[in-house]
Amino acid sequence: MAVGVFDSGLGGLTVLDAVTRRLPDVPFVYLGDNAHAPYGVRTHDDIFNLSCAAVERLWAEGCDLVILACNTASAAALKRMQETWVPQNKRVLGVFVPLIEALTERQWGDNSPPREVAVKHVALFATPATVASRAFQRELAYRAVGVDVEAQPCGGVVDAIEQGDEILAEALVRSHVEALKRRMPMPEAAILGCTHYPLMAEAFQEALGAEVKVYSQANLVAESLADYLIRRPEFLGEGTHSRFLTTGDPKTVSNKATQFLRRKIVFEAA
């Protein structure tokens, strides 16, 4: 009954933490592709191929349902995976859907025409690949009108997090927020469009100001997954044990994960 959670590195641990709290009886297998992180500067074909390889590894662990807890993979590879590659008896889901549902206050299955929503000025902080894909803006436009989205590619933040350099990561966050606010001085809401970024949520909130509502994906994804499994319990796979897997060096990744989540995490080689 295991569910897979995949990310290019450590960021998806924010999602794993939330889904584990929400679904304590479900075993989760986490796979971080730390050897190839960050994905945000890679080509779409590269991201697609790496994501497929990781998902296949999680299927081998008995996870028929895999969450791409990586916005870059969700933006650049998920649609192609679902349309051309995922077999009928498996499911791969991304992390955009719950976020857009929360922002527009409408369910994904609501196919009525786009309409006005409460928030008009949205700051999107994401990796260069996610920003370039315009996937967030495209999905939002199907459901909402009159929303101005200003996207800021946050080069270097994921690298700093993966290297365990919190001071550098915080400095980069401040720099990227300042760059965005020069173009959109008064955002009403901010999207942390990378699952690494909740690890820097306090830095984003401080730089943006208390009046800006910051949307972080982890809890939204957890609620959405719980609802999905009620409706589609057949996609709980055969796996029975929780595990942490990495394509990188297990000891190094374990130490960094423990540092950021502030609890002991032990990774094994994938």
- β-pair partners for 29: 4, 243
State mean pLDDT over 138-149.
91
Report pLDDT for 200. Answer: 93
Identify the residue whose tokens are 């794993």. 16
pLDDT band at 108 (very low <50, low <70, confident <90, very high): low
Q: How confident is the model over 243-247, as a mean pLDDT? A: 97
**Is pLDDT above 90 for 109?**
no
Averaged pLDDT of the chain: 94
The residue whose two tokens read 């009525």 is: 112
Predicted confidence at residue 123, as pLDDT, reads 97
To which residue do tokens 């299927």 refer? 59
- Judge whether residue 269 has pLDDT over 90: yes
Note the pLDDT tens digit of each residue in 13-33. 999 999 999 999 999 999 999
pLDDT confidence of residue 63:
97
pTM: 0.89
Nearest residue to 216 via CA among 121, 102, 67, 117: 102
Overall average pLDDT of the 243-252 stretch: 97
Helices 166-183 and 201-208: crossing angle in degrees, nearest 10, is: 30
Catalytic site positions: 70, 194
How is residue 100 written in tokens?
Answer: 């857009």
Q: Which of 183, 95, 91, 81 is nearest to 139 (CA)?
A: 95
Cis amide prior to 38 (ω within 30 degrees): yes
pLDDT digits (tens, 9 = 90+) for 38-62: 999 899 999 999 999 999 999 999 9
Band the pLDDT of 67: cuts 50, 70, 90: very high
pLDDT tens-digit series, residues 73-106:
999 999 999 999 999 999 999 998 888 888 888 8
- Res 152 pLDDT > 90: yes
Measure the CA dihedral 160/166/169/171, to 10°: -140
Rounded average pLDDT over 201-217: 95
Q: What is the mean pLDDT of residues 226-240?
A: 93
What is the model's pLDDT at position 89?
Answer: 95
- Torsion of Cα atoms, 55 then 237 then 226 then 6, to 10°: -20
